[in-house]
Amino acid sequence: MPAPRNRFDAAELGGAFGDLGTLIPFVVAYVGLLKMDAAAILLPFGVALVVVGAVFRTPFPVQPMKAIGAAALTQAAVVGGIGPQAVVAAGLVTGAIWLALAVTGLAERVARLIPRAALLGVVMGLGFAFMIEGVRMMTDQWLLAGLLLAGTLFMLSRRWPAMLALLVAGAAIAIARDPSLLPALGAQKASLHLPSFAWPGLSAGDLWVGALLLALPQLPLTFGNALVAVTAENNRLFPDRPVSERRVAMSTGLMNLASSAAGGIPMCHGAGGMAGHVRFGARTGGASIMLGALLLALALFFGDAIGLLFRLVPPAALGVILFLAGVELALGSRDPEAEKSDRFVVLATAGFAVWHAGAAVLFGICAHHAVRAGWLRL
């Protein structure tokens, strides 16, 4: 049977915004702390989303690489710390690594070594991590967040456009708290903005710092979450539109080379992002294409308004999005027919995945073989 065509309806539009919980905080931090160009960051995101939506025809996510972002942003305030050029260099190195893994077939061969129980544990742990981060974002405005969560769950249970309603409510709350947002947005005018080619400005020092301190520490996390887990999640949800680890690795490599060339940030495909898109109604690549087109329009014509638009989504609303994406992801890791030993591997691996997806993969493999060899009795 041919795979279904991409749809562009209200459900897909609502699901398109199901991954804002990771995109907005990182972009705001990169722009605010490292003074990077918001348009140069969002332009590659838009291109990547349009391409993966058209090629994979599923709500395939594109996210900032979290370990690289955390390392770069925590060092930004340190004298002589990591600067924007090192972030761009990290994207260049990351792109080269993932292209090599795809071309050689190594990404697919290594992924085949991961037992099912370990994979389910990684997915479950990532879901828990999303839920914990969502709750953390909701705690500062717990009453408001509780009302938004209750209203969103009510709408989801009736298959109404919950995400669109959540964004409208969040924007209304943001404007009520800061009325200056409305006239500031009205004053914005469209003007074409194209990022400059960033590679000639990179030095050998930038490449060294980007590779050693940013790109290499991110590699195991990306392998666990943005290659193995997202491939399994896509193929579980959409068996009529399967993807391979090799294609995902190729996509990761190409979009990072393009992002670094434009002066953007390292990107990946995260399983939590797919769960967020699906939780809010997306079922085809139309969601990715519509979000990508919106980001392209913002980057090309409204670069100065990006920061203002992101302020329309308060932390309480972002927390709700992350929490529900985590619930959706964790639900996908259930295996009611698993034996006790397999359930142990799943749960123990999930505990490690809350901390680090790459370490969880290694633990899960070791635990699986230890149980099968009889070294670990439960």
Could you report the per-residue pLDDT of 231-257, keeping only the tens digit for each?
999 999 999 999 999 999 999 999 999
pLDDT for residue 60: 97
Residues 101-129: tens digit of each pLDDT: 999 999 999 888 888 888 888 889 888 99
How far is it, in rounded angstroms, from Cα 360 to Cα 366? Answer: 10
The residues, ordered by sequence, that sit 6+ positions from 278 with a Cβ below 8 Å of its Cβ are 15, 18, 59, 237, 328
Q: How many percent of the chain have pLDDT more than 70?
A: 95
Statement: the pTM of the whole predicted model exceeds 0.95: no
Over range 49-56, report the average pLDDT: 97
**Structure tokens belonging to residue 237:** 């949800």
Q: Is the pLDDT of residue 360 over 90?
A: no
Q: Is the pLDDT of residue 358 over 90?
A: no
Q: Is the pLDDT of residue 336 over 60?
A: no
Over range 215-235, report the average pLDDT: 91
Band of pLDDT at residue 340, cut at 50, 70 and 90: low
Helices (H), the chain: 10-16, 20-34, 38-56, 66-74, 84-104, 106-111, 116-139, 142-157, 162-177, 181-186, 204-209, 216-223, 230-237, 245-261, 271-279, 286-301, 306-310, 315-331, 340-355, 357-372
Over range 36-48, report the average pLDDT: 96
- Give the residue, 367 or 232, on which the prediction is more confident: 232
pLDDT for residue 315: 93
Q: How many percent of the chain have pLDDT more than 90?
A: 62
Q: Is the pLDDT of residue 216 over 80?
A: yes
Q: Which of 137, 44, 128, 123 is nearest to 88 (CA)?
A: 44
Kindly report which listed range (130-144, 160-174, 364-378) carries the lowest average pLDDT score.
364-378
> Residue holding tokens 């887990």?
229
pLDDT for residue 81: 66
pLDDT for residue 193: 87
Band of pLDDT at residue 372, cut at 50, 70 and 90: confident
Over range 186-208, report the average pLDDT: 92
pLDDT for residue 36: 93
Band of pLDDT at residue 79, cut at 50, 70 and 90: very low
pLDDT for residue 354: 83
> Residue holding tokens 């939780």?
279
Q: Is the pLDDT of residue 87 over 90?
A: yes
pLDDT for residue 41: 96
Asked if 272 and 122 count as a contact pair (C-beta separation under 8 A), the reply is no
Over range 155-166, report the average pLDDT: 89
Over range 181-187, report the average pLDDT: 91
pLDDT for residue 337: 56
Distance of CA 133 to the CA centre of its chain: 13
pLDDT for residue 349: 87
Calculate ∠ Cα 330-168-146, nearest 5°: 50
pLDDT for residue 149: 95
pLDDT for residue 229: 92
Q: Is the pLDDT of residue 377 over 50?
A: yes
Hey, is 64 helix, strand or coil? strand
How far is it, in rounded angstroms, from Cα 264 to Cα 257? Answer: 10
